[in-house]
Amino acid sequence: MGLWILEDKVMDHVPGTTRYFDKPQEAGRESDSHLKRDTSGSVPIILVPQPSDDPNDPLNWPLWRRDVIMIILSLTAIFATALGPILAAVTLQLAGDMKITTTAAALLTGYFLMGVGFAGTFFVPSARKWGKRHLLIFGTVLLVASSAWGGAAGLNHTSMLWARIFQGIANAPFEALINAIVGDLFFVHERGKRMAVTNLALFGGAFFTPILAGKISDSLGIPWIFYFVAIFCALCLPAIIFFVPETAYNRDPRLNTDMLAASESTQDVTFSSGLEPTTSNGNAATGDEADKPENASPSTEAALPPHRYPGADTPKRTFIQSLKPFNGTYTHENFFKIFFRPFPLFFHPAIFWACLIQGTLIGWTIFIGILVASIFLGSPNYWGPVENGYSYTGPFIGALIGFLMAGALADWSAKFMTRRNGGIYEPEFRIVLVIPQLIFGCAGLYGFGIVSTDLNRYHWAWSVFFYCLEVMGMVVGAVASSLYIVDAHRNIAIEAFTCLLIFKNFFSFGLTFSAFYWVSNNNTREVFMIISSVQIVICLLSIPMYVFGKRNRSFFHRHDILKITHLD
């Protein structure tokens, strides 16, 4: 049992478990010496997954290029997800101006979330079959159009509602795919900080919007909230078209060393047991081609020359070719078969755990955001839209701190625990990031429930402070669950992120539908004590997930839900 993770009793090697450091004395597996590795640090690191020799393999692109792609997508995702809480500061103003109920005004946020969840179920199978690039372009174009529509809707509630639904549809490609794209572009040891950046963009950057939205609506009018989003998304569109190529890649299964089972030796990766070790400077370079024998006979198993990885003879795509929205198909499976794949995965314990860890705290965050305007509307604060917007400074700072915390801890903790585990990496090491979520997220929920319901006793700054803590925990938890899914179940990562998208958006939609009714008919403090306690229980589920996670991976490798349901 390594670091309290129970070893599997059936499989000698469980998919997801990999050798991390290139130190045979630590791992006891000298047969791995043929694998490519990153030698840029003091200790060589085995590259997981193994890159092919194909110049079109995203893992072979220079690190700076992969980072540029991630930054462009993260910036666009900030504007896309900013549309979610963009009306939070002006909810009560909208209710009065449009002459609708407060719940109907809150549902303008709820229907955005429903649009995300609904569209994501269709976009993900499209990404699996035809790649991700066409969806990113489509989503950005629709962001521009639907945001302009939202501004032009004015006080027409029906038009605004449909604009919000289409804004949710436009946001879906970014929420559903951006974390999976991190898995496409980066090796295991590179993902931690990048996943922190993408999750900050998805879940943290949105808190900056209400800060500006309240002031913009007061100075220029509510339509300009949407017009500014349309303008910034229009600026992002050329960057996505010209600098974000397709990241989907049909990798030979033998290169996915993190997904190999015991019966699938890593020696098969090179199609030759005599391959000389190939090093990398961190950009997945494929070694010196001159060292390959010119007259080597093909491998009988792989029908490829020895000492060569797949794709060595594939020509590099030109820049013009990379601009195509479609680059063929990546699976021959039926679209509707792929469409139904995520739904059985809700019965997968690891994926359901990730849904709870990420989805519930995001839901409580939206729940608080809906109530902020009504909580501070009356005595002793009498806040308007501008002050409500400024109150989001706290959660925005919390998102930044959560990002820094997750970025600092994600890769460091994985490397530290891997060293303690004799050089063997277990995906369950990512679960320890739930500890900050438990501490800060739950403290934020309890604290906000106590101070926001007694504003005559507690200064409003305390409510903002505890909202800050809650968002810190939310960001760290989102990083933890996303990293675990990518590292432990990368072969079904797209479907898993679809489950997360469906769960968190429909859960949050339900909260927007019932938030004001729930609070107005119950003691607000008691409501927050209940949801805080529920969140503690959810975080504590990480203990059995950590201890039994490896056995869970083994069980569901041997009893594949998708095979059982004939959706594999």
Domain-located, residue 523: yes
pLDDT computed for residue 411 by the predictor:
83
pLDDT digit string, tens, across residues 145-177: 999 999 999 889 999 999 999 999 999 999 889
Domain-located, residue 307: no
Mean pLDDT, to the nearest integer, of 468-494?
Answer: 91
CATH number for the domain harbouring residue 143: 1.20.1250.20
Domain-located, residue 322: no
What secondary structure letter does DSSP report for 37?
Answer: E
- Note if the pTM is more than 0.85: no
pLDDT computed for residue 16 by the predictor:
87
pLDDT digit string, tens, across residues 261-286: 655 544 555 544 333 434 444 444 33
pLDDT computed for residue 46 by the predictor:
83
pLDDT digit string, tens, across residues 203-221: 777 788 888 888 888 889 8
Number of domains in the chain: 1
pLDDT computed for residue 433 by the predictor:
94
What is the amino acid identity at position 124? V
**311 pLDDT more than 80:** no
Q: How far apart are CA 169 and CA 260, in angstroms?
A: 36
Q: How far apart are CA 265 and CA 139, in angstroms?
A: 41
Cα torsion 417, 423, 426, 432 to 10°: value is 10
Domain-located, residue 128: yes
How far from the centroid of its chain's Cα atoms is residue 212's Cα? Answer: 25
**28 pLDDT more than 60:** no
**529 pLDDT more than 50:** yes
Closest listed residue to residue 311, CA positions, set 62, 556, 92, 54? 54
Domain-located, residue 527: yes
Domain-located, residue 211: yes
Q: Which residues contact 184 (CB under 8 A, 6 or more apart)?
A: 58, 132, 247, 248, 249
Q: How far apart are CA 181 and CA 193, in angstroms?
A: 14
The domain in which residue 189 lies consists of: 58-249+338-564
Higher pLDDT, 35 or 541: 541
Contact 83, 171 (CB under 8 A): yes
pLDDT computed for residue 148 by the predictor:
97
Higher pLDDT, 310 or 243: 243
CB-count exposure of residue 394 (10 Å: 0-12, 13-18, 19+):
buried
**464 pLDDT more than 70:** yes
Two tokens, residue 548: 């039994």
pLDDT computed for residue 410 by the predictor:
87
Q: Which percentage of the chain shows pLDDT scores above 90? A: 49
Mean pLDDT, to the nearest integer, of 163-192?
Answer: 92
Sheet containing strand 279-280, edge to edge, reads 45-46, 37-38, 279-280
pLDDT computed for residue 245 by the predictor:
95
Q: Give the other-Cβ count within 10 Å of 137's Cβ.
A: 16
Q: How far apart are CA 276 and CA 350, in angstroms?
A: 38
Domain-located, residue 291: no
Q: Which residue has the tokens 């699938």?
A: 264
Q: How far apart are CA 32 and CA 261, in angstroms?
A: 15
Domain-located, residue 242: yes
Q: How many residues does the chain have?
A: 568
pLDDT digit string, tens, across residues 332-391: 888 999 999 999 999 999 999 999 999 999 999 988 888 887 788 777 878 888 888 888
How far from the centroid of its chain's Cα atoms is residue 4's Cα? Answer: 27
pLDDT computed for residue 25 by the predictor:
44
Spell out a b/e string for 62-96, using b for 16 or more CB atoms within 10 Å of the CB, else e. ebeebbebbbbbbbbbbbbbbbbbbbbbbbbbbbe
Element (H, E) at 279: strand 279-280
pLDDT computed for residue 261 by the predictor:
60
